[in-house]
Amino acid sequence: MTEGASLPPSGLPGLDPRFSRILRVPGRGVDAGVSREWHHLDTGDELARLGIPTAGTILAVHGNPTWSYLWRSIVSESVRAAESGRPAWRVVAVDQLDMGFSERTGVHRPLHQRVSDLAAFTEALALEGPVVTLGHDWGGVVSLGWAVDHGTSLAGVMLLNTAIHHPEGVPIPAPLRLAGAWGVLAASTVGTTAFLDTTLALATPSLDRDVADAYRAPYRTAERRRAIGGFVADIPVDARHESFGELDRIAGAVARLDVPALMLWGPNDPIFSDRYLDDLADRLPHADVHRFEGASHLVAEDRPYADAVLTWLEDNGERLSGLAPSPPRAAASARRTSTGSPDGPPFVPLWRGLDERREDDSVAVVDMAPRGKSEPRRVSWRQLDDRVRKLAAGLHRMGVRKGQRVSLLVQPGPTLTAVVYACLRIGAVVVVADAGLGVKGLTRAVRGAWPHVVIGEALGLTAARTLGWPGLRISTARLPRVAAVALGVECSLADVIELGTGAPVPAPPGPGDEAAILFTSGSTGPAKGVVYRHGQLSALRDVLAAHFDVTSETGLVTGFAPFALLGPALGTRSVTPDMDVSAPRTLTASAVAAAVRESDARIVFLSPAAILNVVATADALTTTDRAALTHVRTFLSTGAPIGEQLLASAAALMPNATPHTPYGMTECLLVTDVTLDGIRAAAAAPDRGVCVGTPIGSNRVLVAALDADGRPTAAPSDEAGVLGELVVSAPHLKDHYDRLWLTDRAAENGTPSGNRGAAAGERWHRTGDVGHLDADGRVWVEGRLPHVIVTADGPVAPVGAEQDVEGVEGVRRAAVVGVGPHGLRQAVAVVETVPPTSRPGLATPELTAAVRASTALPLVAVLAVPQLPTDIRHNSKIDRSRVSMWAESTLAGGKTGAL
């Protein structure tokens, strides 16, 4: 039964009827000799009426069971953008035949036919290049089929959640499996609206009722829903399916595309998961990718995709028009890597220290708390090098290749060290997510990185199995067969070593190859994967060695996870003290002393949270412990700036050490440095905030001044006394965020070199920290950008006022946050008291008066809580956003609950 195309009913939210068109198209294939009517949206006439020339056309193709209504945002926003002077792109969004308001043909339309249909439509429309395709769901496959067949017109491809390949032997996603099951297909997709309703329910947040009704508008009857069932039946579940060959053809051709590409993804999609994103990223390694955390299948409804699309088109205008070449991203990034460039120092790989000491039987790595043993585990340089080489060769023989990702769920110690250097040696990318992220955070991190291999201890592998983490699984220890099967473990590290014994190690990676993905703490939003290349990690090693004078005899005690693996790279012995590295507060003073004594270390790295407990447990130190600590020459508090009093308390335990508190972040682990004496000297200055010293080596720090609305809008400068966002540059600055193109763009936007074409050594990063420079070039941190209080008199950073309040007797810690509407925010102090208050609420009148008198910042209220919430990794950074929401609710008369 056929039914002609029609225009959508008026009044559908967000859909401008001016753009609806019906085009009669001569058919092909099964439609040879027959013309079909297509409903579509087209902004071309409106742009012509406005007299705006176009840069090209976006050809948008919906999936199943949506229609061109999915693209209403890009349709309307593209016109508004053109009217505002941004590059104009015509948008053509089709309703595929038998879908939306296009003709109901009653004809079976497998994948090859739908690709042919779209080609017939664009020919009838006389569509000329440059064309950038945009597809979602099975519309992604159809749009890519058109793309690979129209190379002369194609300028780029853009994709929302879709798939063009499914691994052999892996069942298709459960929702599709259920919908396509015998006896269920017709009822769930055609006879009822179940499949349509389930798809619409995937939106996060839920769709407004009138928007959901708009999606249902073309599918009111079973007859009009037949193609919904046809699409599900056309999913190639195996090689016997009639559409398998066409899908395989498209997948192979996509891997040969060299045009710019963009992928915007909803990682919570139960249908097109990150598995399919990973496959597409392998085929289009130069693509810009952004995963919208929390978004699901209907990412076009969940997140502002249209603005992202238009921004990407604007950024890539010259490449899309053919005026500039389109280099693969890896090559472009490698050119940006300063270390190893012709003008910089020669590239020295991280494993060079192992190569140089492979015949050395002295201790390289010590584990102070090996599981099930009472004595420390000591590994020599010879043993470590041998283990690294065999693991590297074994992993390579198993099929692990350069660029493939290996997630490590192993506690710091000799085993983790050996595995890390083995992966680096063959060019595999190590994925390190701190256990301090918690189960939810770890799951988000591991799934986001989508590793090819997971190497872990039993606890980590249990989580991987239970939570469905991807990757071939290797256990650190040999497991009983039953346990190995239960955990999905393929083999153990012992098996890998056996496989690699006597086998050659492959050619090493270069400075521009990806080396590691380190995850941020998650204290300011979902943890982000930070990608480092080999050249940048080597630069980090070099700046650390030079600034702190690390030699082969220095020795390191590393109670701070990011630096726990650098000992071999620095060519010096290292030891991890007896502690739970995911819970820094488990480190005691006695454990630090034992680690120093064991390694004769001259440098100690600790995190602020660890220092708190080290100082608190100092009374347990023996005479022998204290004697060992006198050998320490350099003490570093790394992870977050700490105040003079805490640093001095820790320094008192190591009387011959120079205390340092470097400033950095996961994106650039060492930016500035200040000693205890430097902090004391800065205390005499009239500046506000925490002094973190001056830039290390060739590092640079500039400040982008805040405007009256609290936004960093000015060009970064080195002018003293200006409150703004700190912008940093360093040879060891990260390369990019993993699959977070928009976040990358924001972090680089407005920096001196911008976000495109940065020259060697001139890469910059917007830190999100606010502060200022003083006349001596010292950097002062005054808080985070989201925590700036924008009052009627302008922006106020919180840290200075917090320091004032923390000087009041009876106050242990303070957070100064804003309440009220943006631009008219009022400041509130929330304090921990000594002794702690029993319940949260208003502070006593006496304490309130003392706190208000301590600072020049007007405070509308003072609240007291038993404990301020801190971030999950360092246990030191106060979660001011959470405190602000709680204070606002409390002062508005809400129930006063615990923070």
pLDDT tens by residue, 376-422: 889 999 999 999 999 999 999 999 999 999 999 888 889 999 999 99
What is the per-residue pLDDT for 633?
A: 96
Residues 816, 802, single domain; the answer is: yes
Identify the sign of the CA torsion 407, 411, 415, 421.
positive
What is the rounded average pLDDT of the residues 475-489? 93
Measured between alpha carbons, how far is 692 from 678 in angstroms, rounded to an integer?
A: 9
Residues 153, 296, single domain; the answer is: yes
Domain assignment present for 621: no
- Residue that terminates a domain, selected from 521, 548, 568: 521
Residues 456, 398, single domain; the answer is: yes
Q: Which residue has the higher pLDDT, 796 or 340?
A: 796
Residues 126, 186, single domain; the answer is: no
Domain assignment present for 379: yes
What is the per-residue pLDDT for 470?
A: 85
Query: Nearest CA to 359 among 338, 380, 378, 330?
Result: 380
What is the per-residue pLDDT for 760?
A: 45
Domain assignment present for 654: no
The token pair at 710 is 């609290």
Residues 122, 223, single domain; the answer is: no
pLDDT at residue 562 tops 70: no
Q: Which residue's structure tokens are 């680089």?
A: 748
Q: Helices 493-500 and 381-397 meet at what angle, rounded to 10?
A: 90
What is the per-residue pLDDT for 737?
A: 94
Question: In percent, how much of the chain has pLDDT > 90?
Answer: 73
Neighbours of 677 (CB within 10 A): 10
Residues 150, 249, single domain; the answer is: yes
**Which H or E run includes 832?**
strand 826-833
Measured between alpha carbons, how far is 182 from 224 in angstroms, rounded to an integer?
A: 21
Q: How confident is the model at residue 876 (pLDDT cuts 50, 70, 90)?
A: low
User: Residue 75's domain spans which residues?
Assistant: 18-169+242-320
Measured between alpha carbons, how far is 408 from 457 in angstroms, rounded to an integer?
A: 9
Note whether 295 and 66 are within 8 A (CB).
no
- Mean pLDDT of all residues belonging to the chain: 89
Q: Name the domain count of the chain.
A: 4
CATH number of the structural domain spanning residue 412: 3.40.50.12780
**Which H or E run includes 739?**
none
Measured between alpha carbons, how far is 630 from 613 in angstroms, rounded to an integer?
A: 19
How far does Cα 881 stand from its chain's mean position?
Answer: 20
Q: What are the tens digits of pLDDT across the range 728-756?
A: 999 999 999 999 999 999 888 777 765 33
Residues 248, 387, single domain; the answer is: no
Residues 258, 221, single domain; the answer is: no
Residues 798, 868, single domain; the answer is: yes
Q: What are the tens digits of pLDDT across the range 164-197?
A: 987 665 665 555 555 555 445 566 789 999 999 9
Note whether 687 and 780 are within 8 A (CB).
yes
Domain assignment present for 343: no
Q: What are the tens digits of pLDDT across the range 528-540?
A: 899 999 999 999 9
- Residue that terminates a domain, selected from 302, 320, 338: 320
Q: How far is CA 761 from CA 276, 345, 535, 577, in A?
A: 35, 12, 12, 36
Domain assignment present for 248: yes
What is the rounded average pLDDT of the residues 836-849? 92
pLDDT at residue 676 tops 80: yes
Domain assignment present for 588: no
What is the per-residue pLDDT for 176?
A: 52
Residues 179, 49, single domain; the answer is: no
Residues 252, 159, single domain; the answer is: yes
- Residue that terminates a domain, selected from 521, 546, 576: 521
What is the per-residue pLDDT for 570?
A: 92
pLDDT at residue 339 tops 70: no
Name 835's Cβ contacts closer than 8 Å, sequence gap at least 6: none
Residues 297, 192, single domain; the answer is: no
Q: Which residue's structure tokens are 């999100």?
A: 768
Q: What is the bridge-based pairing of β-strands 261-265 and 154-159?
A: parallel
In this structure, which amino acid lies at residue 827? A
Domain assignment present for 727: no
CATH number of the structural domain spanning residue 62: 3.40.50.1820
What is the rounded average pLDDT of the residues 63-82? 97
Q: pTM of the predicted model, to two decimals?
A: 0.89
Q: What are the tens digits of pLDDT across the range 268-290?
A: 999 898 889 999 999 999 999 99
Domain assignment present for 849: yes
The region, left, alpha or beta by phi > 0 then psi within -120 to 50, assigned to residue 304 is beta
